[in-house]
Amino acid sequence: MFDHSLLENDDPQSDPVALERAAQRAALDLQRVVALLAQRRPGMRRTARPQQAAVLTWRMLLDIEEQAFADLGFQGRHPATIRDAFIRLADSRLPVTEPDAPVDWQHDEDPLPAIYAIVRALTQDLSVETA
């Protein structure tokens, strides 16, 4: 979800603990932003009826990713070095060949793209709640 090697710096002034905390804050913030964006999709609200299961396509997931990283609040709260360390769908080896196909949540590539991992956790939480 996060490429820590991008945060490694040979600068003796850099504090690895501070960088790790900044990365954790950004990850929590990204989860919040993504949850708000995902809830706009059919079947992704906690109040959704069980018969309205969430079926997200790769196109929807890419759209959520684009909106999350373009969020001005997210950009303003975290420096570019932290934001750029998140693994994006385009940088992964996930097979996004058919944009309108449903997302396959069975991938366990390490590390997973941030948005994929966050939305997968949200859909799993929803499926447990509706079961």
If one counts the domains in the chain, the total is: 1
130 backbone dihedrals φ, ψ, rounded to 5°: -85, -10
What is the tens place of the pLDDT at every residue in 32-65? 999 999 988 876 766 545 545 568 899 999 999 9
> How far from 90 is each of 9, 46, 77, 100, 111, CA to CA, in Å?
25, 29, 24, 16, 13
Cβ-Cβ contacts under 8 Å for 125 (sequence gap 6 or more): none
Which positions of the chain have pLDDT values less than 50? 12, 48, 51
Q: Please give the residue range of the domain that contains residue 16.
A: 4-130
Look at residue 94 in the predicted model and tell me its pLDDT.
84
Look at residue 114 in the predicted model and tell me its pLDDT.
95
The reply to whether the predicted model has a pTM over 0.85 is no
**CA–CA dist 106, 64 (Å, integer):** 19
Look at residue 52 in the predicted model and tell me its pLDDT.
55
Where do we find the tokens 């590539």? 109
CB contact at 8 A, 83 and 27: no
**CA–CA dist 82, 94 (Å, integer):** 23
Look at residue 7 in the predicted model and tell me its pLDDT.
62
**CA–CA dist 27, 49 (Å, integer):** 29
Look at residue 92 in the predicted model and tell me its pLDDT.
87
